């Protein structure tokens, strides 16, 4: 008899637990999409960021050519490479790495606030409109993560762009 009472109590507790679980699952989850690339391009400092990136790429390409980095690397990697060839490559690579670090620091100084602004705008728009999850529209399309989405109901890109201004 004790066993059947225990079973009955467990059955009632399980039913109550499962009932609460089902209720939680019935709450609607709004999922939105944002074209993050377009939002970044709409940011007021995006032009500064792209100009800085272009300058960095141009200088790094020039430095790679001037230092003859590829040639030095090939010579230093050869089985019969001399100590001087290895040292020349190390010196050139150190100079190249220092320039890359300098540019990365400058780019991060501009990009970090842009990232923060974009993320904040996405979060604010999502919360204001009751969205629980926001996906990158481009990543979702490329990966096949989203098969179908009602663009008018889920695409928050223009709202996020307005929030940035």
Look at 141 and 119; give whichever has higher pLDDT: 119
Return the pLDDT at 158: 95
- Interior angle at CA 104, CA 101 and CA 105, nearest 5: 85
Mean pLDDT of 48-67: 94
Indicate which CATH number applies to the domain containing 71: 3.30.910.20
Domain range for 99: 2-164
Mean pLDDT of 118-133: 95
Return the pLDDT at 27: 65
* Total domains in the fold of the chain: 1
Distance CA(11)–CA(145), nearest Å, equals 39
How many residues in total does the chain contain?
165
Return the pLDDT at 48: 94
Cβ-contact 114, 45 below 8 angstroms: yes
H-type alpha helices, 1-82: 2-26, 36-42, 46-67, 69-77
Q: How confident is the model at residue 63 (pLDDT cuts 50, 70, 90)?
A: very high
Whether the pLDDT of residue 53 is over 60: the answer is: yes
Distance CA(165)–CA(153), nearest Å, equals 22
Whether the pLDDT of residue 68 is over 70: the answer is: yes
Whether the pLDDT of residue 14 is over 50: the answer is: no
Structure tokens that stand for 151 in this block: 């663009």
Return the pLDDT at 165: 81
Most confidently modeled range among 67-71, 76-80, 147-151, 159-163: 159-163
Distances, alpha carbon 11 to alpha carbons 6, 8, 16, 61, 87, in Å? 8, 5, 9, 71, 76
Whether the pLDDT of residue 58 is over 80: the answer is: yes
């Amino acid at each position: 008899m004790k066993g059947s009472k225990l079973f009955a109590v467990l059955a009632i507790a399980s039913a109550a637990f499962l009932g609460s679980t089902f209720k939680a699952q019935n709450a609607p989850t709004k999922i939105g999409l944002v074209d993050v690339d377009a939002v970044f391009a709409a940011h007021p400092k995006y032009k500064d960021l792209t100009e800085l990136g272009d300058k960095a790429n141009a200088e790094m390409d020039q430095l790679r050519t001037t230092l003859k980095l590829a040639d030095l690397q090939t010579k230093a990697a050869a089985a019969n490479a001399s100590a001087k060839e290895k040292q020349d490559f190390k010196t050139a690579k150190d100079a190249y790495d220092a320039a890359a670090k300098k540019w990365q620091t400058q780019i991060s100084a501009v990009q970090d606030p842009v990232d923060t602004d974009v993320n904040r705008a996405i979060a604010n728009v999502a919360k204001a409109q009751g969205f629980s999850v926001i996906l990158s529209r481009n990543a979702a399309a490329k990966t096949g993560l989203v098969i179908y989405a009602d663009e008018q109901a889920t695409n928050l890109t223009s709202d996020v762009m307005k929030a940035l201004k």
